Structure 1
Amino acid sequence: MDRLVKPDVKEVDLAFKRGQKCTTTFRLTNLMHTMAVGVSLNTTNPSVFSFSQQFSVIPPLSSSSYSLVFSQTSDQPPLSSPPDVITVRSSMLPTGKAHQDDLRRLFAKPGPHVFRDASIPINLVGSHVAEFLISHHAQIPETDVFLNKALSGCTDPQLADLLRAAVVYRSANLVNDLIDAGADVNDKDSNGRSMIGLAIRAADLVILKVLFAGFGDIDVNSVDSDGRTPIHVAAVRGFVEAIRFCVRVGGKVDVLDCNGWSPLHYAAAEGHLDAAECLLEYSNAKYALNNDRKTAFALAVENGHLHMLDLLRLGDVLQRAARVDDIHGLKSCLAQGANVNGRDQNGWTPLHRAAFKGRIECVKVLLNHGAHVDVVDDAGYTPLQFAVEAGHVQVALLLVTRGAEAKMKSFKGVVPSELDCFKNHPSLVQPQCNEQERA
């Protein structure tokens, strides 16, 4: 016979709670048909785990319940690897009865009369164990193993709270484990903050991607109690990679929060130039007004972020000055730091605009301030091509003398000496410009 009694579990789960004594129960069944069995219970760590009754008698074919007690009041779960175990030993009792002292003497003497019936691992489970593992994951080598056991005793709301903690502690592996355990990636905290927003606040792109992996229904445009989306949060922190990732998975960059602030407002207010440039790639929200009637440009000025001015406003002013031949305004913008080669939504630089309008003095100023003479717009056209299209021969000649390349396929073999014929040359390919932009 291999054993006299059989436990009803292969492992015992004990729900640990900080500062409390904890208990769990399991059952042992006597496999003998006609004889009572004496039972002895021990643990590998008796100073921590004990039993309400260490010795007992089980009648034939009967079962008894036993309570495992975590007798300390600790804030830290007593994790061990390998785990602590319960050792179940048994011995036949021909008389069917025995006092505690008799049983103690019986099991004190090893021999063939004592059977080792089971070794039952003790698992510490519950949210308190999981919280400890997440907050100390860097110091516990086998965190994943312990966590998988601990999560078996957690409810759905507890899993969501643990997922938030794993995101905050920036542990991608634990985030993945919690998602596998059923944690809701769309759950929000009491302030309406999403898991995505927390990952962005933690500045962790890897976790952000883990949250989306295999979960196509995750809401990337979910708003918190202030109406802010994850892209708002990324803009506040200047987290460009997060902005781009959120946009790729369906995030909207022009959502306004409860104060009427777009993500661009936040990027400008915080002075995050790269984030502002990124946002403007997806939406031209430069002129959107918040509830205080302020643009992103106004917020940048208000907070002293002068390096933002060109992107948010000076570039527009420079383009207008080039268009209307405002030499003083042109020089003023350049003196304030405007980008002489800055582009508008069509890829036009101020030189494109001045050349198309025939503003030769503006062209001279722009060239003297480093304007790229052969820069191409989004349609592939240069300032020289615009000057030729519009019939501004003197501007075209000036551009060529300053290095503009005239031998382009659009001119089909026309050379600089023939510039006076450009206006009516039959083989000239006309760039198709937006009529409003030409005005």
Structure 2
Amino acid sequence: MDRLVKPDLKEVELVFQRGQKCYTSFKLTNLMHTMSVAVSLTTTNPSVFSINHPFSIIPPLSSLSYTLLLSDLSDKPPLSSPADVIMVRSSMLPTGKAHQDDLRRLFSKPGPHVFRDATIPVSFIGPLVAEFLIFHHTQVPEVSSFFKKAISGCSGPELTKLLTPAIASGYADFITDLIDAGGDVNFKHLDGRSLIPLAVRAGDIDVLKILIASGCRISNSLDSVLHEAAAMNRVDLMEVLFAGYSDMDMNLADSDGRTPIHVAAVQGHVKVIEFCLSIGGNPDTVDRKGWTPLHYAASEGYLEAVRCLLNCSNAKYVVNKDGKTAFSLAVDNGHSHLLDLLHLGDVLLRAARIDDIHGMKSCLAEGAMVNGRDQNGWTPLHRAAFKGRIEIVKLLLDHGALVDVVDDAGYTPLHCAVEMGHVQVALLLVARGATAKVKSLKGVAAINLNCFKNHPSHVHPLCHEKERV
């Protein structure tokens, strides 16, 4: 005979309650038709568990109920690996009667009269167990199996409630298990926000993808997930959001009127700014204070962010509600490294164009970059050579202007002077080190200083443009 008694379940489950006595019941059935059976129940962890009838007698073909009690009033479930178990031993009892001391003696000595009938694992279930595992998953071995067991004892609303801490933990397997078990991914918090902002803050790509794939709906006006991702400098999260939701709006403003580009500019996150611009973000949008993204980048002193925005923005001279331009904010906050980009470079180029030598001297004294470039790659020396401003050319060279600097079309200042017929400027440039025969970056023919013409047949593309301020 393999065994004398049979348990009514393969595993005992305890619903854990923090700081309370927890208990559950199970039954053993005597398989003998004519003889009573003595039973001994012990646990692998008697300091934590107790059983109401450690020694008992079960009549023939009868059942007896037992209660397993968690006597350790802990704030956390006493999980163990391998799991604690209840060991069931039995022995035939022909008389059908015996005192507790007799039963204790009966099982104290091993022998063929004692049968090892069953080993029943003890597991903990319920939302408090699952919550504990979410917050301590790095400290628990075999956490996935514990978690799946724990949520098997949770109701639908409990599963849904657990999604919030699970998402915050960034542990993707938990979210999958909760959704598969019946958790509602379209649960809304009291403020109306969805679960997606939580996933973005957790910063886990897999968690975000799981929620999107599971049909988690988003409210653009409430969730502001692009703003969240922009603040975190997470272009990868923004890419997933755009791939998952067709109605993503890069120019959606938050309650302060700020777009994701504003948020990125506040932090100086250049990659985010570039991504926003690549999918239609407007760099010239003003918020409720009248600030453009350029205002924020300039105010905080972020050089690369300012450069990035200037390449696509017309906001350099936009005035906010306090009457401040981006340049003014940079001055106010002592960001002298931005002044040339935001204003002085323009002033220097204009001075070169209109032959304002006093204005140029003042501008250089304020810290203007003598080799700063405009949108076409022209330096002030290009402009002065193009216009034939010889005194301006001298001043710029005396302040360190690069004589052979090349613009976006492959032209040096000497090219500009020669093609516009400014002989004295050209000779001055050569005297100051300009290469008389220079092949440009784009293969423009070499300059022949012996062949000046008042109306050259080959001129710089900008020569036909209207003069710029």
| 1:415 to 2:448 alignment | yes
Identity level (%): 43
Q: Which moved more, 1:233-242 or 1:150-159?
A: 150-159
Offset of 1:90 from its aligned partner?
A: 6.3
Is the aligned partner of 1:217 residue 2:244? yes
Gap change, CA 1:320 and 1:195, over 3 Å in 2:
closer
| Counterpart position of 1:383 | 413
Match of 2:461, SS state, is: coil
Q: How much does 1:247 deviate?
A: 4.9
Aligned to 2:6: 4
Letter of the aligned partner of 1:367 in structure 2? L
Contact 2:414 2:429 (8 Å CA) reproduced? yes
Matched, 1:119 2:121: yes
Return the alpha-carbon distance in structure 1 between the equivalents of residues 277 and 23 of structure 2.
Answer: 49
Give SS of 1:417's match: coil
TM-score (norm 2): 0.67
Residue in 2 aligned with 1:289? Answer: 319
In the alignment, does 2:433 pair up with 1:403?
yes
| Offset at residue 251 of structure 1 (A) | 5.4
Name the SS of the counterpart of 1:216 in structure 2: helix
Q: 1:21: which partner in 2?
A: 20
1:330 aligns with 2:360: yes
* Alpha-carbon spacing, 1:88–1:147, altered in 2? closer, same or farther (3 Å): closer
| Aligned equivalent of 1:132, options 106, 130, 135 | 135
Matched, 1:340 2:339: no
Matched, 1:371 2:401: yes
CA distance in 1, matches of 2:360, 2:142: 63
| AA in 2 matched with 1:209 | D
CA contact (8 A) 1:196 1:220 kept: no
CA contact (8 A) 1:123 1:149 kept: no
Q: What is the SS of the residue equivalent to 1:345?
A: coil
Letter paired with 1:217: G
In the alignment, what sits opposite 1:85?
84
Superposition RMSD on alpha carbons, in Å? 5.1
Residues 244-268 of structure 1 deviation map (CA, whole Å, 9 limit, x = unaligned):
4555676554443333333322222
Report the residue type matching 2:243 in the other structure. Answer: G
Counterpart among 289, 301, 304 of residue 259 in structure 1: 289
Shift of residue 125 of structure 1?
A: 5.3
Separation in 2 of the partners of 1:156 and 1:429?
71
Q: Matched residue pairs, number?
A: 422
How has the CA–CA distance of structure 1 residues 211 and 345 changed in structure 2, closer, same or farther, with 3 Å as cutoff? closer
For 1:381 and 1:249, the matched residues in 2 are separated by 33
Structure 1 counterpart SS, 2:115: coil
The separation in 1 between residues aligned to 2:392 and 2:69, in whole angstroms, is 88
Uncovered stretches (5+) of structure 2, i.e. residues with no partner: 172-196
Contact 2:30–2:59, Cα closer than 8 Å, also in 1: no
8 A contact 1:255–1:263 mirrored in 2: yes
TM-aligned CA distance change 1:403 to 1:282, over 3 Å: same
Inter-partner Cα distance in structure 2 for 1:434 and 1:382: 17
How far apart are 1:86 and its partner, in Å? 3.9
1:194-343 alignment, distance < 5 Å: 194=225, 197=228, 200-201=231-232, 209=236, 212=239, 216-217=243-244, 219=248, 221=250, 223-244=253-274, 247=277, 253-343=283-373
Q: What is the match of residue 159 of structure 1?
A: 163
